[in-house]
A and B are shown apart, each in its own frame.
Chain A
Amino acid sequence: MSDAVYDVLIIGGGPGGYVSAIRSAQLGFKTALVEREHLGGICLNWGCIPTKALLRSAEIFHFANHAKDYGLTLNGSMSVNVADVVKRSRGVSQQLNGGVAFLMKKNKVDVIWGEAKITKVGEVSVGKSTKPVVEPQNPIPKGVLGDGVYKAKHIIVATGARPRVLPGIEPDKNLIWTYFEAMVPKTMPKSLIVMGSGAIGIEFASFYRTMGADVTVVEVMNQILPVEDAEIAALARKSFEKQGIKILSGAKVLGVKKGVDSVTATIQDEKGATTEITADRLISAVGVVGNIENLGLEALGVKTDRGCVVTDGLGHTNIAGIYAIGDVAGPPMLAHKAEHEGVICIEGIKGLHVHPMDKLKIPGCTYCHPQVASVGLTEAKAKEQGYTTKVGRFSFIGNGKAIALGEPEGMVKTLFDAKTGKLLGAHMIGAEVTELIQGYVVAMTLETTEEDLIHTVFPHPTLSEMMHESVLDAYGRVIHV
């Protein structure tokens, strides 16, 4: 407890919150961060990071199962030790969790442990968390401040989001899973239904399939990975189906019946016909909703819309002195979007020159196998907006490095405004594309035209050369096809 008034107090220690706190401290503000459960938020503890660890184990398992292709022989076969796979993933989270605590200390940000409620503009009351703790949890960091009333000139809500719950299909921590349970399986399910084919659903589908489970993905839209470009989504679907993942699109889960150690879902297709599918477990991955409850927002009159706080492009809510950033402030629900929104909000408070983020320059990555990554407009959206486009495509099969790696599956697609040469969108599927996409994002941020990309020297032999070839293809001068 302290009598001091903070310049900035941030509620929520996820990527949006802790990055804002660091930037705030860098700009000389007296800063506090309130966290009730885990520094690093969902991203670090139950999202982005642990899934990448799990997927890495799956990737190595996949390579091991194809060792012969590379002239390698395994005496016997590789097996999955679920507990150890999960342990590694939790270990990675724990390490990074400690890392955030270190960063808070280094930047002299006061960490207040507890659940915050904004009692009035400029004042926050911190008490015991009302949220049930998800195990395993890391220990509370040292040196945190405790319950009490804290004053701050600027309060930033960065409380993130939680899984959306469909009525009748409520997660029960046993048979019906959210990403929380899917992250720490005790045993490998033999079969799995994944409801929802966004990034979260597809990543878990990919992980569990690679680890040997029988996976069925149910998606209500006609396209899996609905936000991606249709052509890329179609290639992804083909690849998943080749891997043995069953995909039901245009399909809705009407309800579930729980067995002793299994769950049966009733699924309705577009024509109205229903089927029943039984699996060991069902993962509900139908989106997330902002954590706007128990913050005191209603009493203060802070405007919310469909579970998210309404903000202008700079993090301001309708109440002066109260801001919101990250997942709680609406889509896209991405950690890097939260980080940048947080920085923009802080810099705006400082009086620096800021602009809202350009949503068309925020990349999205899905770490399934093959990976998917994209930025900007899809071909359909570009057409909708009236652009005449030049489209370039380059398949992995034409790239030397891809063949040498044994990763011939994939494509790089680029979209240009025919009139100005503006790069409107880039869509990629294949090995390592989540690491490659940044090249296009940097180019878009610098407002490239096709000419600049054509003149850029990409190194050989790399997968990134395909980024060059795709642009050449858009302008009718592709080389390696």
Chain B
Amino acid sequence: MSVNVLMPALSPTMEKGNLSKWLKKEGDTIKSGDVLAEIETDKATMEVEAVDEGILAKIVVPAGSNDVPVNQLIAIIAAEGEDVSKVGTGSAPVAAAAAAAAPAAATLAPAAAAPVAAAHAPQTVSGSKVFASPLAKRIAKDGGLDLSRVTGSGPHGRIVERDVRAALAGGVSAPAPKASAAPVAAPAAAPAPAISDDQTRKLFTPGSFDEIPHDGMRKTIARRLTEARQTVPQFYLTMDCEIDALLKLREQINASAPKDKEGKVSWKVSVNDMVIKALALALVRVPDANVTWTETAMLKHHHADVGVAVALPGNGLITPIIRHADTVTLSGIALAMKDFAARAKSRKLKPEEYQGGTTAVSNLGMFGIKDFTAVINPPHSTILAVGAGEQRPVVKNGALAIATVMSVTLSCDHRAVDGALGAELIAAIKVLIENPMSLLV
């Protein structure tokens, strides 16, 4: 009996992926555990392993195919001894087209909080039909609006009048329910820009630019962070932390790191590792800030899972998560970050390694940035932006002195964390950073 190989769902919210490479060819013998192909998602490259044994009878979806829907038939493995040439597509399950949950924030948010993102898949790109009511189509046409950029809030994700009216009014995402201030179901759809792509291109001299198509990661960053900016009411708290003590402790810790036979250290703790720990411990001390907002309830987390922003070469970004960071040692954090960074750069992170988390750290200090405000990544309620540690004049006992000062800025989701609570959290972070021995307990 031949076995159908289907496009796997590599994360709960994955809808489609790019089949980039086949590592076996038709006719090859397949053993259980063999890697058949590489699938590229918006975040990482994953391997598809064979579960069954047999001969790879037919490759149905060729290498380099983009936007293959989850559950679509990609190959057929014939059993040993079966006539490979006679293998048809069999009872291939129908490809699950994009009707299910849109690639939204991590699965932590319950249905009530993500009614729109879950119920209405954004219109699929790459040439598929756009569903819009006749009136919406006409209004869009008259207004020069590109319908493929609009997310529908009507039945089955259909674009309806309110969606195009909102888009034409200047990229405002939520078609607000008319007669009320309904809190629950205001759809936070991906906004349509006020001008279309074609109109944007027309603003530049033809030939004066190159066009680089977006990869999955870029599209996801654009969508998620725009959504975050539009739906999350963010405010920012900045504090300056004196890090001379922290730097001294770091030196001592790293000096005592075990060395292997060649004299290479097993681990090296960075300032960022210590900030991660400080944030995690601060959330344990201020547990009311270790929360996630949903429409029906506040989720109060039992652990501090800290996402850490890692920049990728060639303009990309991913946030692997240190789970239960409050319980991990500094060396543990350092080792985890080293592994994450390496695998992030080669796009080999697993979805469960970068989805979720209760907070995040973003550090631009190595670029000399003094301070900045980071964008909150749902489902987090906070993100800590860390600047460079630099020698600055400070006042001590009424006299001018010099200290190494690092500015940290905490972005807070006001729905979940109010001003005073945010202040309490950042104050706790400062206490931990300025009394770094507390990071060791």
Q: Tell me the A residues contacting B by CB distance below 8 Å.
A: 311-314, 316, 348, 351-356, 358-359, 419-422, 446-449, 451-452
Contacts and interface: CB of A to CB of B under 8 A. Distances in A.
A404 B133 CA distance: 37
A449 B136 CA distance: 9
B317 interface: no
Interface in B176-225: 177-185, 187
B115 interface: yes
B133 A353 contact: no
A314 B184 CA distance: 8
A420 B134 contact: no
B180 A451 contact: no
Contacts of B112: 351
Nearest to A419: B142
Contacts of B111: 351-352
18 contacts: A314-B177, A348-B184, A351-B110, A351-B112, A351-B296, A352-B115, A353-B115, A354-B115, A356-B179, A356-B180, A419-B142, A420-B135, A422-B135, A447-B133, A447-B136, A448-B133, A448-B134, A449-B135
A447 B133 CA distance: 6
B362 interface: no
B135 A353 contact: no
Interface string B138-149: 110010000000
Given A348-B184, A355-B153, A356-B182, A447 B134 contact: yes
A313 B134 contact: no
A447 B135 CA distance: 5
A357 B235 CA distance: 34
A422 B139 CA distance: 10
B241 interface: no
Nearest to A356: B177
Nearest to A360: B178
Given A313-B179, A314-B180, A359-B179, 10 more contacts: A316-B182, A348-B185, A354-B185, A356-B179, A420-B135, A420-B138, A421-B138, A446-B133, A446-B134, A447-B160
Contacts of B133: 446-448
Contacts of B119: 352-353
B178 A356 contact: yes
Nearest to B117: A353
B184 A451 contact: no
Contacts of B115: 351-354
Interface in B106-136: 110-112, 115-116, 118-120, 133-136
B161 interface: yes
Contacts of B179: 313, 356, 359
A14 to B, nearest CB: 22
Contacts of B118: 353
A420 B133 CA distance: 13
B182 A314 contact: yes
Contact of B185 (A311, A355, A419, A451): A355
A311 B160 CA distance: 25
Contacts of B185: 314, 348, 353-355
Nearest to A355: B177
The 8 closest A-B pairs by CB, nearest first: A447-B133, A313-B180, A312-B180, A351-B112, A353-B119, A447-B135, A351-B111, A353-B115
A264 B390 CA distance: 95
A351 B181 CA distance: 17
B140 to A, nearest CB: 11
